[in-house]
Amino acid sequence: MSEFAKEEKIKAGLEAKFPGVVTNASVQRKNRVWAEAATEKLPEVLEWLKAEGFIYLSTITGFDEGENFGAFYHLSGHGMVASIKVKTPKTNPALPSVLPVFPVATSYERELEDMFGIKVQGLPPGRRYPLPDDFPTDQYPLRKDWTDANLPAWDAPAKEAK
Amino acid sequence: MSKITIPLGPQHPALKEPENFMLVLEGEQITGATVNLGYNHRGMEKVAESRTYIQNLYLIERVCGICSHSHTTTYITNVEELAKAEVPQRALAIRTLIAELERVHSHLLWLGVAGYEMGYETLFMYTWRDREQVLDCLELLSGNRVHYSINTIGGVRRDITAEQKAAVLKRIKYLEERTQYYIKIATQETTLLARTMNVAKLPPDIAVKYGAVGPTARASGIKIDVRKDEPYLIYDKLDFKMITHDTCDVFGRVVVRALELVESYKMINQILNNLPEGPIAVKIPMKLAPGEAVNHYEAPRGEDIHYLKSNGTDKPERLKVRAPTMANLQSVAYMMEGGWLADVPLAIAAIDPCMSCTDRAVVWDAKKGKKTTYAWEDLRKLGIEHYRKRGVDFTKL
């Protein structure tokens, strides 16, 4: 038995349950499991992990790695953190919503839409988060090619307050 | 009765951070609530990508004015993991000490805020007076009251002397006595009980469903505490209990925080009396090899989680920060539903969202198009009056 028995069990379970769907599963260190999942199967993978005791979706980290956008879904439970990575092409970025599995995901998914422009399929319409309502809708600040030079010039208030 | 929707926030003192709640009211009862966030977005994650690891340390400290140590500790734990650094035990012990002092100051602050929202201002005055003691400790140890800046990559910036140790222990002893008094108030004082029992209920299954963390979850009987689940720093060497409560209401949240204070004092004593000898910091290269790390931390409000990716330069490729309030807010929406308008400030304050400003709420009648402006004072008076009619009165004390 390796010293990371419970981590290896999760890793092996993921690989056995989702052959071809979960790839690159690894145990990074004690309490840390990383894996990549096929985008369209993401909700099922998370559902399985939830049943295995990862009852909290701690957060979703979106990223821009050049050719692809993607996100890490950080799940925690039993003191472990499992991070599931999914990718989506830059040309038409889209990810399935995980709301049916984790109702807590609403704001994290809105963040993906606002900051990266990744369309989250199945996320009900609602107010944007975290950018302000008047922020240009075609600009996504956490993309690597975005700088604040992209912002339109700020219009000073026409009149000074009296 | 016609339904009325009122916005609460984005600027509102019980909210502490600017956020907006849309409350659907039937009379004084809340039938629906939605949370809108993002008013305080400062673009820190983007900014972090253009700053070096050590510069980011000072940026990340400013994520929050209360859990400043929580965020930097989570961040540098990630940096040190990526640098494969062995941080000296003494540095870890000092970090743990500051972390527990921070928890004491945060919980005392919250106890005061809760007292204030109930209309129990004496409690507010008492706890905030006593909180000065722990702020003095932090100032004594780090030179600062709020942004301690004790952390540095590879260790801590200041060592603890014998005089400092004695001065901190003296103040903690005083706080221990005072906290016993607060516990007595929290569990026996009839007006406080009447004002907090069965207010803002959060059943355990709902707490898990909406991802509640920290004292909010523990007051619903959920055994979740990163210090126990995955001990970081030196928590595996400390003797302390995880405090939970099963009333699932504001009363439970008061009790959990009050009893956690006692556990924190215990830990502070243990750390100071068994401080390991040795250096307080090691050198860490400016550039980190490519890699990624995720670490979490039990901040005073719950689990704080950071993700960090390095790319071989001296700047991070991606940094993600999730503070505990974010996880607790969805539960607040649930807690308010079915409750009274007068309980709203208390329900929101009960998760201890991270306070900044004083503002107002506008109440409008959608049908008549009539608008009434409630200043914070009015809303507070409304809460106090509402309960006075029901026999809970602090003003006669």
Task: Please give the pLDDT value at position B371.
Answer: 57
Task: Please give the pLDDT value at position B394.
Answer: 61
Chain B nearest-CA distance from A111, in A, is: 10
Confirm whether pTM is higher than 0.90. Answer: no
CB of B296 within 8 Å of a chain A CB? The answer is yes
SS3 content of chain A, % helix, strand, coil (to 5): 25, 30, 45
Q: Can you tell me the mean pLDDT for B126-134?
A: 92
Q: Do residues B337 and B360 both lie within one domain?
A: yes
Name which of A58, A103, A115 is nearest B322 (Cβ-Cβ): A58
CATH number of domain containing B8: 3.30.390
Q: Do residues B317 and B331 both lie within one domain?
A: no
CB of B205 within 8 Å of a chain A CB? The answer is no
Q: Do residues B26 and B86 both lie within one domain?
A: no
Domain count, chain B: 2
ipTM over 0.85: yes
Q: Do B208 and A72 touch (CB under 8 A)?
A: no
Query: Considering the domain boundaries, does residue B196 fall inside one?
Result: yes
Q: Do residues B150 and B225 both lie within one domain?
A: yes
Q: Do residues B220 and B356 both lie within one domain?
A: no
Contacts of B222 in chain A (CB under 8 A): none
Q: Can you tell me the mean pLDDT for A52-76?
A: 91
Q: Do residues B201 and B249 both lie within one domain?
A: yes
DSSP label at B340? B
Test the B interface: residue of A107, A108, A113 with most B CBs within 10 Å: A107
Contacts of B299 in chain A (CB under 8 A): none
Q: Do residues B199 and B68 both lie within one domain?
A: yes
Query: Considering the domain boundaries, does residue B94 fall inside one?
Result: yes
Q: Do residues B215 and B78 both lie within one domain?
A: yes
Q: Do residues B193 and B339 both lie within one domain?
A: no
CB of B283 within 8 A of CB of B90?
A: no
- Closest residue, chain B, to A143 (C-alpha): B46
Task: Please give the pLDDT value at position B77.
Answer: 94
Q: Can you tell me the mean pLDDT for B79-90?
A: 93
Q: Do residues B55 and B197 both lie within one domain?
A: yes
Strand (E) positions, chain B? 3-8, 20-26, 29-36, 151-152, 155-156, 291-299, 302-310, 316-322, 360-365, 370-375
CA–CA gap between residue B88 and residue B53 (Å, rounded) = 20
Domains of chain A: 5-150 (3.30.460.80)
Query: Considering the domain boundaries, does residue B9 fall inside one?
Result: yes
Query: Considering the domain boundaries, does residue B397 fall inside one?
Result: no
Task: Please give the pLDDT value at position A162.
Answer: 54
Name which of A76, A130, A146 is nearest B41 (Cβ-Cβ): A130
The amino acid that residue B344 corresponds to is V
Does residue A133 carry a pLDDT above 90? no
Name which of A79, A103, A141 is nearest B209 (Cβ-Cβ): A103
CATH number of domain containing B80: 1.10.645.10
Task: Please give the pLDDT value at position A155.
Answer: 66
Q: Do residues B179 and B144 both lie within one domain?
A: yes
Grade residue B362 by pLDDT with cuts at 50, 70 and 90.
very low
Grade residue A66 by pLDDT with cuts at 50, 70 and 90.
confident
DSSP lists the bridge partners of residue B152 as B155
Q: Do B305 and A76 touch (CB under 8 A)?
A: yes
Query: Considering the domain boundaries, does residue B395 fall inside one?
Result: no
pLDDT in tens, B370-396: 556 666 677 777 777 777 777 666 665
Q: Do residues B9 and B99 both lie within one domain?
A: no
Query: Considering the domain boundaries, does residue B160 fall inside one?
Result: yes
Which of A 113-152 lie inside 8 A of B, CB atoms?
115, 126-132, 141-142, 146
Query: Considering the domain boundaries, does residue B394 fall inside one?
Result: no
Q: Last residue of some domain: B265, B294, B322? A: B322
pLDDT in tens, B191-244: 888 888 888 888 999 898 888 999 999 999 999 999 999 999 999 999 999 999
Grade residue B44 by pLDDT with cuts at 50, 70 and 90.
confident
Query: Considering the domain boundaries, does residue B293 fall inside one?
Result: yes
Both tokens assigned to B99:
């972390």
Residue numbers of the domain that contains B65? 44-322
Q: Last residue of some domain: B290, B322, B354? A: B322
Q: Within 10 Å of residue B320's Cβ, how many Cβ atoms? A: 21
Q: Last residue of some domain: B322, B352, B375? A: B322
Enumerate residues 6+ apart whose C-beta is below 8 A from B126: B112, B178, B182
